[in-house]
Amino acid sequence: MNGIIEALQDKDDKKAYALSKEIIAKSVTSDEYYSFFDEFTGLLTAKSSYVRTRGFALCCAQARWDEEGRLAEAIPDMLALLHDEKPTVVRQCLGALREVILYRPELHEVIKSEVEKLDVAKYKDSMSPLIKKDAYELLKMML
């Protein structure tokens, strides 16, 4: 178990990213990694923005299997990443939330509320329109 969490934080970001993609892909058809949910949430506060984003995406990937409500408990900590100083983190998190919106309609209101609070003005002019577009697409899914 610890081996996976350590590998997701590997200094070799390409290796760690590949593992996270593999877990996300497997999570589409199997709840094999749902038991790691709490460990995935532990990655949300990592120093590395790559690791934080990975943890967020892995939590979202478990949405379809979350009958225990773990996502609802973790969502406040997760949504804090929508205000990360790195715009790429925000964009990737917005993208990952699509899975939560599809499978956890009970979380729509809390997600919608947080997405509407996004302050895109703090990002470069090249990134703020992209974040706005991502946020708009996500909000549209909840209509």
Question: pLDDT digits over 28-71, tens only?
Answer: 999 999 999 999 999 999 999 999 999 999 999 999 999 999 99
Mean pLDDT of 108-124: 97
Q: Residue 73's Cα: distance from chain center in Å?
A: 14
Rounded to whole angstroms, how far apart are CA atoms 34 and 23?
Answer: 10
pLDDT digits (tens, 9 = 90+) for 8-38: 999 999 999 999 999 999 999 999 999 999 9
Q: How confident is the model at residue 1 (pLDDT cuts 50, 70, 90)?
A: low
DSSP structural state of residue 29: T
DSSP structural state of residue 142: T
Rounded to whole angstroms, how far apart are CA atoms 7 and 141?
Answer: 33
Mean pLDDT of 101-111: 98
H helices of the chain, in order, are: 2-8, 13-27, 37-42, 49-61, 70-79, 87-103, 108-116, 128-141
Share of the chain above pLDDT 70, in %: 99
Domains and their CATH numbers in the chain: 2-141 (1.25.10)
Single-letter amino acid, residue 28: V
Single-letter amino acid, residue 92: Q
Instruction: Say whether pLDDT at 116 is over 60.
Output: yes
Query: Could you tell me if residue 42 is left (phi over 0), alpha (psi between -120 and 50 degrees) or otherwise beta?
Result: alpha
Instruction: Say whether pLDDT at 94 is over 70.
Output: yes
Q: What's the angle, vertex CA 138, arms to CA 60 and CA 110, rounded to 5?
A: 65
Single-letter amino acid, residue 112: K
DSSP structural state of residue 123: S
